[in-house]
Amino acid sequence: MLKQRGLFISIFFTAILLFSGCKSKFEKLRLSNDKDLKLNKAFEFYEKGEYLKAQYLLEDLIGAVRMTKDAEKVYFYYAYTHYHLNNFSFASYYFKKFSETYPTGQYAEEALFKSADSFYKLSPNYRLTQEDTESAIEGLQIFINTYPYSEKVTDCNKRIDELRSKLELKAFDSAKGYFKRKRYKASAYTFGNLLINYPDTKEGEFIRYMVIKSTFKYAQQSILSKQVERFEETATLSQKFKKKYSNSKFIKEVESIQETANNKIKKIRNEY
């Protein structure tokens, strides 16, 4: 929210600087009823890279050219002015709306791609909320499904892999945070979900090791009536780990955890 507010303020003051020297001339152009003149000047400003001026004129023209041959181009370039001004939230919205309004138009493929690309550019550092990252993945997948033979598909797949790696890193960091704060149930659950959501993860060995540690710690924290069940889960996970990673650097610690878990189970059963 603060990021967008700062962007709006930046655009506002940029507009003041742009128009302060030639305000009357530009305002006369905006107030003109000569649609063709405004259209030509809008594209002229766009080609010169004066995107804010182009945006104002195109915005004025959207309603005026509706249902005409110019409507599609005006809307498409209007969306692009937001993109060039780094206002990617609006760019994504207008590109998506364009692709829905003109699904068979000449700009439809590029618009759908740019809608996803805008969210891709909004995707933040993995430590922050990843809503834009998820939206980017969704948008890129929609593009692939819609245009499976597009030359952009390879790039889309690479970006999806990159964004999924960011989500994996976010989840991995969250799981470690839960363990550090001694929230072992949440830690075991989050590490376990990593294996479900990212079955090809390179951190599989470490994640399974952490699931065992988290499950074991959670069992120790549990009330007596739940301990046998949870220590049994720890022992089972430990046995599976030993089979899968017989040469793991964690093997001795896992064996120790398994032995302790089994001893706890025997002690509880003998005493109660």
Residue 155: which CATH number?
1.20.58
Q: Give the tokens for residue 177.
A: 């945070």
The answer on 199 and 127 residing in a single domain is no
Residue 176 in domain: no
Whether the per-residue pLDDT at 18 is higher than 80: the answer is: no
Residues 199 and 256 in one domain: yes
Q: How deeply is 174 buried, as exposed, middle or buried, from its count of CB atoms within 10 A (0-12, 13-18, 19+)? A: middle
Q: How many domains does the chain have?
A: 3
**Is residue 1 a part of any domain in this protein?**
no
Runs of H (alpha helix) within the chain:
2-20, 23-31, 35-47, 51-64, 71-84, 88-101, 108-122, 131-146, 153-180, 184-197, 204-221, 224-244, 251-271
C-alpha span between 231 and 240 (Å, rounded): 14
Q: What's residue 67's pLDDT? A: 85
Do 146 and 216 share a structural domain? no
Same domain assignment for residues 162 and 143: yes
Cα–Cα distance list, 239 to 60, 179, 206, 208 (Å): 69, 22, 15, 11
* Whether 12 and 70 share a structural domain: yes
Evaluate whether residue 103 is within a structural domain.
Answer: yes
- 263 vs 35 pLDDT, higher one: 263
Range of lowest pLDDT (25-34, 118-127, 159-168, 231-240): 25-34
Based on the fold, state whether residues 192 and 270 are members of the same structural domain. Answer: yes
Please report whether residue 124 resides in a domain. Answer: yes
Q: Identify whether residues 149 and 205 lie together within a single domain.
A: no
Burial of 84 by CB count in 10 Å (0-12 exposed, 13-18 middle, 19+ buried)? middle
Q: For the segment 157-195, what is each residue's pLDDT rounded down to a tens digit?
A: 999 999 999 999 999 999 999 999 999 999 999 999 999
Q: What is the pLDDT of residue 227?
A: 94
- 229 belongs to a structural domain: yes
Backbone angles phi, psi at 152, to 5 degrees: -85, -10
Q: Are residues 63 and 128 in the same domain?
A: no
pTM over 0.85: no
In a domain, 177, yes or no: no
Residue after which a domain boundary falls, among 39, 64, 86:
86
In a domain, residue 235? The reply is yes
Q: To the nearest whole number, what is the mean pLDDT of the chain?
A: 91
Is residue 140 domain-shared with residue 192, that is, in the same domain? Answer: no
Is pLDDT of 19 > 90? no
Q: Which of 170, 191, 223 is the last residue of a domain?
A: 170
Would 175 be classed as within a structural domain? Answer: no
Say if residue 108 is in the same domain as residue 127. Answer: yes
The 3-state DSSP class for residue 250 equals coil
Query: What is the spatial distance between Cα 218 and Cα 221, in angstroms, rounded to a whole number?
Result: 5
> What would the pLDDT profile of 44-88 be if each residue is shown by its tens digit?
999 999 999 999 999 999 988 888 899 999 999 999 999 999 999
User: In terms of domains, do 272 and 186 share one?
Assistant: yes
The domain boundary residue, chosen from 119, 140, 170: 170
Distance (Å, whole) CA 65 – CA 84: 23
pLDDT digit string (tens) for 21-45? 556 788 888 877 888 899 999 999 9
pLDDT of residue 203: 96
Length of the chain: 272
CA angle 212, 214, 219 (to 5 degrees): 95
> Are 133 and 99 contacting, i.e. CB atoms less than 8 angstroms apart?
no
Structural domain range at position 11? 6-86
State whether 162 and 217 are in the same domain: no
pLDDT at 2 over 50: no
Dihedral of CA atoms 33, 36, 40, 45 in degrees, nearest 10, equals 20
From 110, 259, 16, select the one nearest 251 (Cα to Cα): 259
